[in-house]
Amino acid sequence: MSKIPVTVLTGFLGAGKTTLVNHILTADHGHRIAIIENEFGEIPIDDALVLRSDEQFFELSNGCCICCTARTDLVETLRKLVERKEKIDRVLIETTGLADPNPVAQTFYVDDEIGEHFALDAIVTLVDAKHIDRHLDEAGPDGVGHQAVDQIAFADRLVLNKVDLVDEAGVAALRERLRGINATAEIITSSYSRVDLDDILGVGAFNRIVHPAWLDEQEHFHDPAVTSVGVELAEDFDEASLRAWLAELTAEHGDDLYRLKGVVAVRGDARRHVLQGIHRIFELRAADPWGRDARGSKVVFIGRNLDHEMLTEGLRACTRPVPAEVS
């Protein structure tokens, strides 16, 4: 059974999330999308959104199947979606007021029943082209913990919205600035969040590396708050060694490690392995065979206070087997 892809939508206040949801609700896109507004109870949702109904689920004429809120329990809402007879192509979770996608991402990894039916597809962050400079400047020189910086950093895809309010040179400068915070996410632009839905749904970020040129982008990094470290290795990994190191790394540095992505070669296995992580969750999964492509591993870490040498050397050590316990 193929899993239903889930997109997590984030973005700073006023970036255009509601506008995007309304675009999905009204556009003639042919997808059956369930939209979930997820809220972890800290900040009340502004319910200007059309979705007021006694019924939790209802269907619109363009095929959208709406599930308006999952304020208390995302898992419960997803279960109800599974129970419904109508087929759903995609799920979009709008994480209003949420700086950290970890709790949402976790749902798809730690709950077996949910993981059986749904698979995280991508984290999409909307950016307000008119105001983002100000938000980023407000973050101060270290920007640590600042929501606007964080949301850009952990995105798989960035939608630079409101480009109607900025001139061409401004858009180019913003692209550069976004690149400085997130080297791997593809950046698309929009006005009134009118994006081609194929650009934000079905991105497949959790199945593969989205931005193949990520290594070339490394030198663009200049934001002191969030950096990225890219490591390329020709030698195969020892799987047990890699898993053990990643478990330790994510346990110890999970708060600072926003994203971890990679395609890696595992010794004795003809398949490419995909590595994905968000904070303390990581996943290493076999994918398609290398075939004629040269084997080789590329891993990128995105986060705060990243220790380039520790990460590079740590990864390199995982090409050797875990040392046997000396008893």
Ligand X SMILES: Nc1nc2c(ncn2[C@@H]2O[C@H](COP(=O)(O)OP(=O)(O)OP(=O)(O)O)[C@@H](O)[C@H]2O)c(=O)[nH]1
Taking the complex as a whole, how short is the minimal distance between the CB of residue 162 and ligand X, in angstroms? 4
Taking the complex as a whole, how short is the minimal distance between the CB of residue 137 and ligand X, in angstroms? 19
Q: Report if residue 193 touches ligand X, rule: CB under 6 A.
A: yes
Q: Based on CB atoms, which residue is closest to ligand X, 40 or 192?
A: 192
Q: Report if residue 16 touches ligand X, rule: CB under 6 A.
A: yes
Q: Based on CB atoms, which residue is closest to ligand X, 21 or 249?
A: 21
Taking the complex as a whole, how short is the minimal distance between the CB of residue 20 and ligand X, in angstroms? 7
Q: Report if residue 143 touches ligand X, rule: CB under 6 A.
A: no
- How many CB atoms lie under 10 A from the CB of residue 320? 11
Phi, psi of 165 (to 5 degrees): -100, 0
Size of the site for ligand X (CB under 6 A): 17
> Which of residues 40, 57, 109, 192 is near ligand X by CB under 6 A?
192
Q: Report if residue 162 touches ligand X, rule: CB under 6 A.
A: yes
Q: Report if residue 164 touches ligand X, rule: CB under 6 A.
A: yes
Q: Report if residue 254 touches ligand X, rule: CB under 6 A.
A: no
Is the Cβ–Cβ distance between 196 and 114 less than 8 Å?
no
End-to-end CA distance of the chain: 46
Question: Please, what is the Cα angle at 122 between 118 and 128, to 5 degrees?
Answer: 135
> Which among 249, 202, 191 has a CA at the least distance from the CA of 92?
202
Q: Report if residue 13 touches ligand X, rule: CB under 6 A.
A: yes
Sequential DSSP letters for 96-164: TT-S--HHHHHHHHH-HHHHHHEEEEEEEEEEETTTHHHHHHHTTTT-TT-HHHHHHHT-SEEEEE-GG
Q: Based on CB atoms, which residue is closest to ligand X, 97 or 303?
A: 97
Q: How far apart are CA 59 and CA 54, in angstroms?
A: 13
Q: What is the DSSP letter of 301?
A: E
Contact window for ligand X (CB under 6 A) among 11-19, 262-270, 296-304, 307-315: 11-19
Q: Report if residue 38 touches ligand X, rule: CB under 6 A.
A: no
Which positions touch ligand X (CB under 6 A)?
11, 13-19, 46, 96, 161-162, 164-165, 191-193
